[in-house]
Each structure stands twice: as structure tokens, then as C-alpha cells.
Amino acid sequence: MKLVRYGLPGAEKSGLLDASGRVRDLSGVVTDIAGVALRPGTLKKLAGLDPESLPLVEGTPQQDLRLGACVGNIGKYICIGLNYADHAEEADMPVPDEPILFSKWTSAVIGPNDDIQIPRGSVRTDWEIELGAVIGEPGSYIEETDAMGHVVGFCVINDVSERDFQLNRAGTWDKGKGCDTFGPTRPWLVTPDEVADVDNLDMWLDVDGDRMQSGSTATLIFKVPYLISYRSQFMSLQPGDVISTGTPPGVGMGQKPPQFLKGGETVSLGISGLGE
């Protein structure tokens, strides 16, 4: 299934994509794609529905029908730093011995076609295409072999980053990662049964039509099951928690010369099978 949240900001309804790419209304079944609706039992119920039996929502998604973030009421938004060796190289940082964790604040979350706001004083607002994994089954101290059973789905994330805030303003990376609108989470939540091989997904990002990032999840240093197991050693995982798994090379600070967002650009990004 491809699950969506559609409608005006703050008033999104739950839906799913049918075979023709149109949105079908799920609000009569679940009020939101969030919390307990992401538990396996609810997902099994949704999978048993005939999409043609659900009300058709007017409009074309991402054109004249706004989509919100594909997960509502995100509890924890945890990101992984330097999880591609070639990105660590372009950032002039060592490949980590274990995953680097940092947070995005939930006020950063926006939909797939909402505007990114450049913060006051920003001179180095950057982009990062990432695979997002969303937790459905709660747990702590999860074994790596059991980890994928806790994943409800995958999505496309742009880990927007202000590099000066992140690297030069003392303290943790969070200052440059959690600014308002810095967490586009989109466009739909794709359940694992529709993802043939999460370890071999092509990913790309363009700025104004120029290809900046090309990569594959095949080159992740720490794979999704390990990241879930590792993270669960430090905090319990709850339905709707999001893990953003790291970015391949091609970010703005790695360009020669460096290139950053100034305002007015269009950033387009996608992952095979997960949307754009």
C-alpha cells in the first residue's frame, strides 16, 4: 500500500493511492496515518480493503491536491549522520565506527510540495536526499534479526540542513537540522511488501533541474535493520517514529565551489518505488 495524508496543513485526512494513482479517502476507517493506525493489526485491516470501494478524492496528488507529510503526529524524528562513506569524504569527516544520531524537531515536518523556508541569518542552507523508515510496532532492545518486523513503511526525506548553524555554532548538529520546514517527509508511506529490496534503491536529487545527488541504499554503511536495533538500545521506539538513514554524496557543501540555497529554487528528489 501507499498511504497518504491529504488536505490543508493541520487538517489532513488519511488516504491511500489506488492503482491509477488517485487518492481514496480512508478517514472512515482510520482518522489519521499516525500512532496506533500504524500498528500491524490496523495495517492488516487496511490491506484487506478494496480501494475501489473507498470514496474517490477529487484532484491529482501533488498537483491540485495537496499532500501533507505521510506520517502524522511524529513522536521522534531521529537522523543518522555520515552513513555513506563517500559523503563522509566530501564532508571531510571520518567514517564513524558506530551510527551518529541527531534529531529533527517535529516543527520541521512539512509535506512533499510545501515551501522550505530559509532561516534568518542563513548563508549555507543545504539539501540531503535520504531514505526514511517509519516504525509501526513498538519496542526497545530490538534484535537486528527482528528489526524489519517493526517497520511499517518507507518514504522519501529531504534532510534540509543549515551548515553554519550545524557545524560552527557550538554544541550538537541539531541547531542546523531542526529549523522550521527542514523535514520534508513525503510523498507517501510505502509498506514493506511493495519495496522489493530496501538495500538496493536508487536515489537522486536535483536543484532547478541540475542533478546534484545520485546514489543507492546499496552503499549505506549501517543498514536499516542495524540502525533500528542500535537506536532501540538508547530509546524505546513507538508507532510513528521516523528514522532518516543518511545521505549519499552531492550535497551543497560538497560542490566545488560549494553551492547553497538562496531562495526561489526548486528542489526535486526521489527514491525508486517511493515517489518524488
Encode pLDDT of 38-64 as tens digits. Answer: 999 999 999 999 999 999 999 999 999
- Domain spanning 77-271, CATH architecture: Alpha-Beta Complex (3.90)
Asked if residue 119 has a cis previous peptide bond (ω within 30° of 0), the answer is: no
For residue 172, the model assigns a pLDDT of 86
**Tens-digit pLDDT profile for residues 235-263:** 999 999 999 999 999 999 999 999 999 99
* Structural domain boundaries in the chain: 2-53, 77-271
Number of H helices, E strands in the chain: 5, 15
Mean pLDDT, rounded, for 95-111? 94
CB-count exposure of residue 18 (10 Å: 0-12, 13-18, 19+): middle
Q: Give the whole-angstrom CA distance, residue 148 versus residue 153.
A: 10
Closest CA to 158 of 256, 34, 242, 259: 242
Q: Give the whole-angstrom CA distance, residue 95 versus residue 235.
A: 24
H or E element at residue 39: none
CB-count exposure of residue 47 (10 Å: 0-12, 13-18, 19+): exposed
Under 8 Å between Cβ of 101 and 78 = yes
Mean pLDDT, rounded, for 196-223? 96
**259, three cell numbers:** 553551492
For residue 22, the model assigns a pLDDT of 97
Phi-psi region of 193 (alpha: psi -120 to 50; beta: other; left: phi over 0): alpha
For residue 95, the model assigns a pLDDT of 84
Mean pLDDT, rounded, for 179-187? 96
Under 8 Å between Cβ of 190 and 153 = yes
Under 8 Å between Cβ of 122 and 81 = no
Query: What's at 139, amino acid-wise?
Result: G
Place of cell 529549523: 179
For residue 93, the model assigns a pLDDT of 78
Q: Give the whole-angstrom CA distance, residue 136 versus residue 129.
A: 23
pTM for this model (two decimals): 0.95
pLDDT at 170 over 90: no
